[in-house]
Amino acid sequence: MGSTFPADLSLLNLCLRGVRLLDPWQQRDEVTDVWLQQGRLRATQPTGIPADIPRLDATGWVLGPGLIDLYAHSGEITNEELSPGRETLTSLGAAALAGGFTQVGLLPAPLPGTATFPVLNQPEQVGRYRRRPGDSRWLPWAALSLEDKGETANPWGELAQAGAIGFATSFSSTSSAGSPVLLRRALEYLRPWNKPLLVWAWDPTLAGSGSLYEGVWALRLGLKGIPTSAETAALARLLEVMRSVASPAPVHVMRLSQARSLELVQRAQTEGLPVTASTTWMHLLLAEEAVLEHGYDPNLRLLPPLPHVADREALIAGIRSGSLGIATDHAPYTYEEKTLPFAEAPPGAIGLELALPLLWQNLVETGLLTALQLWSALSLYPARCLGLEPPCLDPGSDWVLFDPAHTWTVSAATLRSHSQATSWLGKTLRGKVLHTHVEEGS
């Protein structure tokens, strides 16, 4: 097993000996030696490493490119000192680095009911996400439209020029902000900008006040059910709008939770539609019976809800085939906001610091995914969806060092996030990010 990793790399010149290197872009999964100089990656082959630099035993450790989170909820932007207990950009950045994420897509609106910052819909607001030294790189999503103005669009071109990574909206038969007319206009207009649309295909009228998908478990748990068509009907409608546009802008479907939804996306892809999709890490990790196993923990109240077992298995197969990416959908609610009866709790939970260790432990170590498949779904696939340069382990790139065998207990003291909205609070996990390096100036 590896040695203790030094906390400060800024003055060190060392060789990690016998580290497991994962590079999905180059399809490398091998044990090798890696040269780090003042924290920067210099060489990933023994032949390129000087013989006279210190060696550090890295047996059992994993070194891969920086992870990319497609979408997460950001924290307080202004007046951070006025919101004790609320996630801030500072704490969010610390949580991202602690989880191995060097780039984080930030949704344009605050968590429902919190109103901690204005919706990102004007070019001058993009600047609030400028990266500070030592932070992850923020990838801000702009809102597609003014939520209270129906089909009134935001200044898309100006937002794209200002640095928005793309445009986010929900899409259903009842959402004026995600109306077919507005969506069709966006698909036509945004193509030259090569900016993706991030769309949640969800029909709230079909979902109603349900908190678990309809079926045996909703009945057994006494919870109001949600028909699966709340997702699939909205998704089918979205794809039909895309088919009606010649050369539409790329669309990324977020929060996929069903096998049928994955089939619809895969069929659209075979037709040549520029559509990609992702699921959240918790939909890969747990199925609906976990609500009983965890005693109706409100941190398992999600939208879309936790999937049926067969749907979870299909989502994992989608990761295996390269059809899906993984997002944290990090939702940093406060203790007071989340501590409610299951059906009344706001949907969402934190994930930036937990996704990699829990997915590795439950999917890689069990053989459901290979290490390259998991790392690709957390880095290479998101980069392709967002039009970013593919993350790799060339000299001068972002990198993450992960110890799959390191055990730690999830607590307020060990979490960098200000939120403790997770079912794993107080639990001991196996797998810990030792260091995350974000290349300066990139």
Confidence class of residue 176 from pLDDT cuts 50, 70 and 90? very low
Confidence class of residue 111 from pLDDT cuts 50, 70 and 90? confident
- Does the pLDDT value for residue 1 go beyond 70? no
pLDDT score of 179: 81
pLDDT score of 83: 58
Average pLDDT over residues 46-57: 92
First to last CA, the chain: 33
Confidence class of residue 119 from pLDDT cuts 50, 70 and 90? confident
- Does the pLDDT value for residue 294 go beyond 70? yes
pLDDT score of 148: 42
Average pLDDT over residues 350-355: 98
Q: Is 398 a catalytic residue?
A: no
Confidence class of residue 194 from pLDDT cuts 50, 70 and 90? confident
**Tens digits of residue pLDDT in 245-280:** 999 999 999 999 999 999 999 999 999 999 999 999
Token pair for residue 293? 């196993």
Secondary structure in 3-state letters for the chain = CCCCCCCCCCCCEEEEEEEEEEEHHHCEEEEEEEEEECCEEEECCHHHCCCCCCEEECCCCEEEECEEEEEECCCECCCHHHCCCCCEHHHHHHHHHHCCEEEEEECCCCCCCCCCCCCCCCHHHHHHHCCCCCCCEEEEEEECECHHHCCCECCHHHHHHHCCCEEEEEECCCCCCCCHHHHHHHHHHCHHHCCCEEEEECCHHHHCCCCEECCHHHHHHCCCEECCHHHHHHHHHHHHHHHCCCCCCCEEECCCCCHHHHHHHHHHHHCCCCEEEEEEHHHHHCCCCHHHHCCCCHHHCCCCCCCCHHHHHHHHHHHHHCCCEEECCCCCCCHHHHCCCHHHCCCCCCCCCCHHHHHHHHHHCCCCCCHHHHHHHHCHHHHHHHCCCCCCCCCCCCEEEEEEEEEEECCCCCCCCCCCCCCCCCCEEEEEEEEEECCCCC
Confidence class of residue 151 from pLDDT cuts 50, 70 and 90? low
Q: Where are the domains of the chain?
A: 13-63+398-437, 66-386
| 411 contacts 405 by C-beta, under 8 angstroms | no
Token pair for residue 197? 């649309």
Please classify residue 234 by burial: count the beta carbons closer than 10 Å to its beta carbon, then call 0-12 exposed, 13-18 middle and 19+ buried: buried
Q: Is CATH 3.20.20.140 correct for 66-386?
A: yes
Full-model pTM: 0.95
- Does the pLDDT value for residue 422 go beyond 50? yes
pLDDT score of 146: 65
For the ranges 22-36, 82-96, 398-412, which has the lowest average pLDDT? Answer: 82-96
- Does the pLDDT value for residue 233 go beyond 90? yes
**Tens digits of residue pLDDT in 297-333:** 999 999 999 999 999 999 999 999 999 999 999 999 9
CATH class of the structural domain 13-63+398-437: mainly beta
- Does the pLDDT value for residue 121 go beyond 70? yes
- Does the pLDDT value for residue 172 go beyond 80? no
**Percent of the chain scoring above 90 in pLDDT:** 78
- Does the pLDDT value for residue 435 go beyond 80? yes
How far apart CA 168 and CA 243 sit, in angstroms, is: 19
For the ranges 102-116, 156-170, 370-384, which has the lowest average pLDDT? Answer: 102-116
pLDDT score of 154: 79
> Given 329, 394, 398, 403, which residue is catalytic?
329
**Percent of the chain scoring above 70 in pLDDT:** 92
Q: Which residue has the higher pLDDT, 102 or 38?
A: 102
